[in-house]
Structure 1
Amino acid sequence: MVLLHVSAFNTANVPFKSHEWNVFMVFEALTNWAVPVFVMISGAMMLSKDYSYKDVLRKAGKLAFVFFIWSFLYLISDILIHGSSAFVKDFIWLQVFLQGHYHMWYLIMLFGLYLIVPFMKPIAKDKKLIKAFLILAFIFGFFWPSVRDLMMIEKFKKILSVPFFGAIYRALVNITDDLHLQMVLGFVGYFASGYAIHQIPEMNKKKAAICSLLMFVFGTVIVFCGLKASNSEGMAYTYLKYYQFGVFLQAAGLFMLFKHVGTCGLVSLIAKLSPMSLGIYLMHPMILEILNKRDVSTLSFTSEFSVPVLTIVVFAVCALITKLLCMFKISAKIVKL
């Protein structure tokens, strides 16, 4: 996640499809699965246990507390970095505080997923229901939106110029819009997929590794093909959106790999970093912005090296600060749920 945000930090500040832009987008395309994988882990954990609505509300309350504490800290940080004048007009500061920093949308999304856990649980317990739910999520949440985005590319637009195919496509667009299947769209599909993959019985490690890696590679190829075919920056980012079929395959492949093949001896490292993951996630944009203010960014030197080097620096600083915060009971509450 840190690598994703480091690589994306200056993408808008370089020319479209320049060398730097291409390097940044390669890093983004290779790490864009991070948020979906986190959601899948949450789904595997939350739907595997019995939570009462009271338990869920308690968890959601802790999440809200962490959100507003960090939203306040980022508001102060933004005022110190950019000045107060930009935030005073039209209560911009209040809007910024209530909606949080750009990366904190994840906490809001997770809050929503927490609220539907008691309703998702009966679906998850029933094999037929969860299978039907996942099929709907796959078709309407990932596959069909990706097809619609594909039709934005000039090569595929020619297909729609044929009256017969154009009529069918427009009809399908209108029909699927009118279905309003919001229940299976977005991150709910990842949430349920994480649980479903977690429930798959142990597989042969070799077969699981081959299957998982094929999914990841195929998904990555789809993402890169979309980026290559893009004729604008806005269209390029379309193929990095989380509902994209390629991103789904990347996330599902990696999650399956870790579940059935293991973490390749990284258990002890993951165990040490796991308690700090939320703190690192919440803190890293602030460290990135402070460094950028000091003219230390991915544009400071060659992009191929600046992205990984800056990622390591930001990650290390965040991990150290989070570890220090975890040493005290009061401060630990803002970096742990």
Structure 2
Amino acid sequence: MSQPLRHVFYIDVLRCLAALAVVAIHVLGPLRELYNTIPLHQWLAAVEINALTRWAVPVFIMISGALLLQEQRPFHLHHYLTRRVVKVVIPFLAWSVIYALIGGYSEQNGSFASVITIIQNANSKPTWYHLWFFYDFIPLYFVIPFLVPLIHKLGHERIKLLLVGWFLLTLINWLNIETPLRVNIVLYSGYLFFGWYLAEHTPTHKRWLIWGGLLAIIANLLGSWYWSTLKDSYSSFFMGYKTLNTVLIAGMIFILCKQYSEQLPSTYKAVIAHVARYSLGIYLLHPIILIPIRDLNNGVYDWFGHNVLAIPLLTCIVFILSYYATRLLAAWKVTRWLVP
């Protein structure tokens, strides 16, 4: 039987930060498309916070790589499918139906027929915007068992070469250069390797990864504003999850959490470790909390005066409410499986 996943505190920190960043991305989501509709300073606040948080999804994948690729015991298919794959697939399917119901009946002329249409289209379009992640994440579970023995046979130097090749591939993808390797399963699998490597090794040139991440953040902040002015609309050129700048920022966040998390006071550690248990549930559930905020259009943001204040405060409110809702579901045996 496979050994239990190793518990490391900095992984808890990463889970909490990534979940918080995802909530922020979705809180500010409607504001990104309001270029030339709201004052420039209000729009820039939203876009720059967006630029600062795009590492969240890659870090979730890196966490999976850090935990699952360290497995060295014999592989047992039944155990892996029931304890790993099914625990993600079943909640994903259930929440897809839940959000299809919400989407189908939230329209003015909502009906069960609308729900069925949304479900029928789910093969190519998620029933709610945040569920796209599982379309790319679930296939990685079928890659991981093959990566584990590969890692232990390649050797340290070949693994570094593989990572360098993946870095180059993310740059190629960012520059939109055509190659057969520009497919999600390859690009996201690289994050698995990257997370495992940073968890198991302290990079020789760690400071260069940190400096690279900081420069990538600056490029995101300035580039997003500049590219949008060129297009006269919101530009996501610097926001891709499969681009070199995002790789560098995600790597920097991972390294910094690994290095400094243990310095947090023990009281904070207990709270973070507790909240981290519900991070996936928070990810799955938080768009429901966001529905009334989005229904108010821009009004709710105006309550706080400026988006620099509104987005962080709304993010914290939605995160806290999502945590308590997730905890409530987890406490009831009938619904516990919805928030693994």
**Normalising by structure 1, what TM-score?**
0.80
C-alpha spacing 1:88/1:303, structure 2 compared with 1 (3 Å): same
Q: 1:158 corresponds to which residue? A: none
Superposed CA offset, 1:230-258 (max 9, x none): 02267720210012211111100110111
Q: 1:289 corresponds to which residue? A: 291
Q: Distance in 1 between matches of 2:54 and 2:111?
A: 31
Structure 1 residue ranges without an equivalent (≥5): 150-172
Q: 1:12 corresponds to which residue? A: 33
Q: Determine if contact 1:145/1:244 at 8 Å carries over to the other structure.
A: yes
Offset of residue 38 of structure 1: 1.0
Does residue 70 in structure 1 map to residue 72 in structure 2? no
Give the SS at the match of 1:25. helix
Give the SS at the match of 1:236. coil
Q: 2:148 corresponds to which residue? A: 121
| Counterpart residue type for residue 258 of structure 1 | C
Structure 2 residue ranges without an equivalent (≥5): 1-21
Does residue 298 in structure 1 map to residue 301 in structure 2? yes
Q: Which moved more, 1:9-18 or 1:32-41?
A: 9-18
Offset of residue 83 of structure 1: 3.7
Give the SS at the match of 1:191. helix
Q: Determine if contact 1:2/1:315 at 8 Å carries over to the other structure.
A: yes
State the Cα RMSD in Å. Answer: 2.8
More helix by share: 1
C-alpha spacing 1:283/1:239, structure 2 compared with 1 (3 Å): same
Superposed CA offset, 1:90-133 (max 9, x none): 95322355533111111222211111111111222132442232
Once the two structures are aligned, what percentage of the paired residues are identical? 24
Q: Distance in 1 between matches of 2:166 and 2:85?
A: 24
Q: Distance in 2 between matches of 1:233 and 1:95?
A: 35
Q: Which has the larger radius of gyration?
A: 1
Q: 2:317 corresponds to which residue? A: 313
Matched residues, number: 304
Q: Distance in 1 between matches of 2:257 and 2:300?
A: 32
C-alpha spacing 1:325/1:335, structure 2 compared with 1 (3 Å): same
Q: Which moved more, 1:62-71 or 1:234-243?
A: 234-243
Runs in 1 of length 4+ with deviation above 6 angstroms?
Answer: none
**Superposed, which structure 2 residues align to 1:131-280 within 5 Å?**
131-140=160-169, 142-146=170-174, 148=175, 173=177, 177=179, 179-180=180-181, 182=183, 185-201=186-202, 213-230=210-227, 231-232=230-231, 236-265=235-264, 266-280=268-282
Q: Distance in 1 between matches of 2:76 and 2:247?
A: 30
| Counterpart residue type for residue 252 of structure 1 | G
Q: Determine if contact 1:186/1:243 at 8 Å carries over to the other structure.
A: yes
**Normalising by structure 2, what TM-score?**
0.80
Q: Distance in 1 between matches of 2:292 and 2:89?
A: 25
Q: Distance in 1 between matches of 2:208 and 2:161?
A: 22
Q: Distance in 2 between matches of 1:268 and 1:90?
A: 42
Q: Determine if contact 2:35/2:232 at 8 Å carries over to the other structure.
A: no
